[in-house]
Structure 1
Amino acid sequence: MDTLTHALSGALVGRVLAGRRAPSAVAAGAASRAAAGVQPPVWQMVVAGTIAATFPDLDFVLGWVSELTYLRGHRGVTHSLVLLPLWGLLIAWLLARFWARDGRPGAGWRRFYLVVCAALFVHILGDLITQFGTMILAPFSDHRFGWGTTFIIDLPFTGIIVAGLLASALWRTSRVPSALALVLLAGWVGVGALGRSEAIDVARAYATANGIAAVEVDAAPRPASPFNWTAIVFDGERYHYAHINTRRSQPLVAGEGDTFIRHFSAPYLPVSMAQWEVADRFGNGDGRELAQKVWQAEDFAFFRWFAMFPVLDHVEHDTAGQVCAAFRDLRFATPGRGREPFVYGLCGSGGDWRLFEREGEGRRWIDVR
C-alpha cells in the first residue's frame, strides 16, 4: 500500500483509540492529567497513529546504500510482527518525550503505546493484503507473505479512510465514524478476497478444460476494480495467463474522453472472452540454455527469491561480445503500463556475470556487492 494511505490509516486508528475525556480532566492542569493517567488529547492520539503508521516505510533509506539492499530489505524488519512491540516502545517513548509536560523525560509513554502498536499493525496488514510480499517474521525469516487481495494503490480503500476521518472531524465527540470506516475497510478487503477466489476458480477451470497439469494456480490483483485480475496457471514449464474481470459480461470500451479509471479497467475482459497467453519460463528458442544458466547463477539469487511468476524477458548478444538474458515477473504485468518494472538479468562471457536492470531500451548496471 502507498505511504499516504498508510499514514491516513494510522490517523484513523488513533481516532478510534482516543477515548473521551471527562470534563474535570479537560479543566485540570497538565500535571494533574498525567498523574491521573488520563489519555492524551484526541489530536495527539491521531498524530501518534499517523507517525507510527508511516514509520515502517522509512526503510526507503536502504536505497541510499544500493538498489539491491532496498529490494532485499524493503518490507523487512520495520514491517516485522516479531519486532513490532519493540518498535512500538521506541516510538511511544519518543512521542512521550516530545510531548512531556511533567518535567520527567519519557514520562507517559504507556499512554501512547497501544495506539502506536495498533497503527504499526494496521500498516503491516495494509501491506499484507497486497501481493508484493511482507517479511513479517524478519529478522528470523526473509519469506515474503502476501494475501494478494488488493492492488497496491486502491482508491476506494483510501477513500473509505478519508471519509472516516472527515466524518470524525464533523462529529468530534464520537468514535463511531472512525470505527465504522475500519469495518468498511475490512468489508472492502473481503470483496477483493472474493474477486481473487473467483479468478483462481477461472484459472482452475481453464487448466481442466485444456488438459493442463497445473503445478500452481494463482491470481494477481489489478487496478480499478476488485474484480480485475490476472489469472495464472503454471504447468512446471510455462505460465498460462489472462487479464480478466470476473463479473463483467460485456467488454468495457474506453474512449478519449473517459476517465483514467475506465482506461485502466478496460483491458480486463469477461471470462467468456478471456485471451489466454503463454509464456515459457526459459523461452522456447535458441536462448533457452543461456536463460537457464542465468537463472541458476549465484549472482541471480536475489531475483529467484524476489520473483513470484518469473518468465524470460529477452536474450541478446551485445556489441561487446557478451551474452545477456533477463527475466520479468508476471506479478507486475499490468496491461497499458508500458514497460514492466523489476526486469533483471545477467550479462557476461565465460561465466563472469554482471547484473543489470532493463531501463527503457538499455541496461543499467547494478553492483551486487
Structure 2
Amino acid sequence: MDTLTHALSGALLARATAPMRPAPGELTSGVRTTVGFVAAAFPDCDFVLRLFDPLTYVTLHRGVTHSIILLPAWALLLAWLLSLILRQRYSWRAIYSTAALGIAIHIAGDVFTAYGTMLLAPFSRHRFAIPFTFIIDPYFTAIIAIGLVAAMLRPQGRRPAVIALLVLGGYVGFQGVLHSHAVKVGEVYAENSGLFEAEVHAFPQPLSPFYWKVIVSHGDDYQVASIDLWRTHSRKPPDPASGILGTWEKIAAGYQPASAAKWIRRGRFGDTDSQRHLAHEAWTQDIFAPFRRFAAFPALNRIEPTGNGVCVSFLDLRFTVPSLPPSLVFGLCRDSPAGPWRLEHKQGLF
C-alpha cells in the first residue's frame, strides 16, 4: 500500500475510535487525527534502506518496522517523540493508544498486498501476504478519503469514519471473493492441461479490482495469464496514437476474459539449454541469495552479452504488468567467461 493511503487510514481509524467528549488530558479530535496520520505513515520510514542499495531495500522493506512483535515498542517511541513535539501538551500515555492503532492499521493494510510483510521480525523473515489488493488502489484510497472528509465535516461525530471503515472492510472482502474466482480460473486451466500437482496463485492488478494475474506454478516453470473477471468479450487493441489515455487502454487490453485468457509460459532459467545453464549458474551465486529469498515467482528476464562478458537478470512475476516494464529486476554481470559475478540492478517501473 502506498504511504499516503496508509496515513489516511490511520487518520480515519483515529477518528472512528475517538471518544465523543474527550476527558481532560485526552487528545482532541484534531490532534488525534494528526497522530493517527503520522503513526500510520511511520512504518514506511524503512525507505532509508535505499541509502544502502536497492536490493537491501527490497529484501528488508516491511521488516522490523512492520512487525507486530515490535509494534508496542514503536508505538511507545512514537508517542514519546510526538509528546516532545507537542511540547508535552499531551503525555505519551495519552498518545500511545492512537499511535499503536495507526501502526497496526498500516501493517494490516500491507498484509493484504502481494509484497509480503514480515510480521514476526526480527525473529522470522517469513513474509505473510493475503494478496487481495493492489499496492496502489484508487478505490481503496477513495473510500478512506471520503470517510475522513465526511468525519471532519462533523467535528463531534465519528459515525462517518466508522461507516467508511465498514465499507472498506466490505471492499476488501469483495476483493477476496474475486481472488477466489481468479484462483478457480487457474485451477480449471491446470486440470485441463494435466498439471495436477501445480500450485495456483492469483494477484491483484492495477486499474480495476476485476483485473487479476493468475500464475500456475509447476517446478521451475510457470503458466501466466492476465484476466478480467468482469468482461465476457475480448477488448479491441487501443489506437497507438491516443497518447496517455492510449497507455492506460493498452494496459487494460492486456486483461482478457477468462474464456479468452492467453496463457504465457515463463521459465525460471529460460527455454534453451544454453540459457538454462548460464541462468542457473548466475542464480546460484552466493551474492544473489537475498533476491532468491525474496522472489516468490522468479523468472529469467534476459541474457545480455556485454563485450566479452554477460549480464543475466531475473524478475519476480508478481511485479509485472501488461505493456509496462517489469519492476524489481535484479541480476548479475561478469566481464569475462571466467570473471567474478557482481550484482546488477535494472531500472524498472518502480
Listed one character per residue, the Cα deviations across residues 93-142 of structure 1 (whole Å, up to 9, x for unaligned) are 2222333456xxxx622211111111101001111111011111111111
Q: Does 1:345 align with 2:328?
A: no
Q: Which residues of 2 match residues 73-152 of structure 1 at below 5 A?
A: 73-100=60-87, 108-152=91-135
Larger displacement relative to structure 2 (65-74 or 139-148): 65-74
CA contact (8 A) 1:244 1:268 kept: yes
The one-letter code sitting in structure 2 at the alignment partner of 1:91 is L
Structure-2 residue corresponding to 1:7: 7
Supply the distance in 1 between the matched residues of 2:252 and 2:304 (Cα, whole angstroms). Answer: 34
The one-letter code sitting in structure 1 at the alignment partner of 2:266 is A
Rg: which structure is higher?
1
Structure 1 residue 195: deviation in Å? 1.2
Supply the distance in 1 between the matched residues of 2:58 and 2:261 (Cα, whole angstroms). Answer: 33
The one-letter code sitting in structure 2 at the alignment partner of 1:21 is R
Listed one character per residue, the Cα deviations across residues 145-203 of structure 1 (whole Å, up to 9, x for unaligned) are 11110100000000001100111122222111001111111111111111111111100
CA contact (8 A) 2:147 2:161 kept: yes
Structure 1 residue 271: deviation in Å? 0.6
Structure-1 residue corresponding to 2:179: 196
Structure 1 residue 228: deviation in Å? 0.6
CA contact (8 A) 1:84 1:120 kept: yes
Supply the distance in 1 between the matched residues of 2:30 and 2:224 (Cα, whole angstroms). Answer: 48
Unmatched tracts of structure 2, length 5 or more = none
Larger displacement relative to structure 2 (155-164 or 62-71): 62-71
The one-letter code sitting in structure 2 at the alignment partner of 1:9 is S
Unmatched tracts of structure 1, length 5 or more = 26-32, 361-369
The one-letter code sitting in structure 1 at the alignment partner of 2:203 is A
Q: Tell me the number of residue pairs that the alignment of Structure 1 and Structure 2 aligns.
A: 341
CA contact (8 A) 1:100 1:108 kept: no
Distance change >3 Å, CA 101–CA 220, structure 1 → 2: closer
Supply the distance in 2 between the matched residues of 1:100 and 1:284 (Cα, whole angstroms). Answer: 63
Supply the distance in 2 between the matched residues of 1:270 and 1:217 (Cα, whole angstroms). Answer: 18
Distance change >3 Å, CA 359–CA 172, structure 1 → 2: closer
Supply the distance in 2 between the matched residues of 1:264 and 1:85 (Cα, whole angstroms). Answer: 42
Aligned-pair identity in percent equals: 44
CA contact (8 A) 2:251 2:321 kept: no
Structure 1 residue 351: deviation in Å? 6.0
Structure 1 residue 214: deviation in Å? 3.6
Match of 1:235 among 203, 215, 218: 218
Q: CA RMSD in A?
A: 1.9
SS in structure 1 at match of 2:254: coil
Q: Does 1:206 align with 2:182?
A: no
Distance change >3 Å, CA 167–CA 359, structure 1 → 2: closer
Listed one character per residue, the Cα deviations across residues 299-318 of structure 1 (whole Å, up to 9, x for unaligned) are 11111111111111122332
User: TM-score, normalising length from structure 2?
Assistant: 0.92
Listed one character per residue, the Cα deviations across residues 193-243 of structure 1 (whole Å, up to 9, x for unaligned) are 111111111001001011123432101210122221111101113100111
Match of 2:34 among 23, 28, 47: 47
Distance change >3 Å, CA 280–CA 73, structure 1 → 2: closer
Supply the distance in 1 between the matched residues of 2:296 and 2:339 (Cα, whole angstroms). Answer: 25
Supply the distance in 2 between the matched residues of 1:252 and 1:173 (Cα, whole angstroms). Answer: 49
User: TM-score, normalising length from structure 1?
Assistant: 0.87
CA contact (8 A) 2:83 2:95 kept: yes
Q: Which structure's relative contact order is higher, taking Cα pairs within 8 Å and 6+ residues apart? A: 2
Structure 1 residue 350: deviation in Å? 2.6
Supply the distance in 1 between the matched residues of 2:347 and 2:31 (Cα, whole angstroms). Answer: 44
The one-letter code sitting in structure 2 at the alignment partner of 1:209 is N
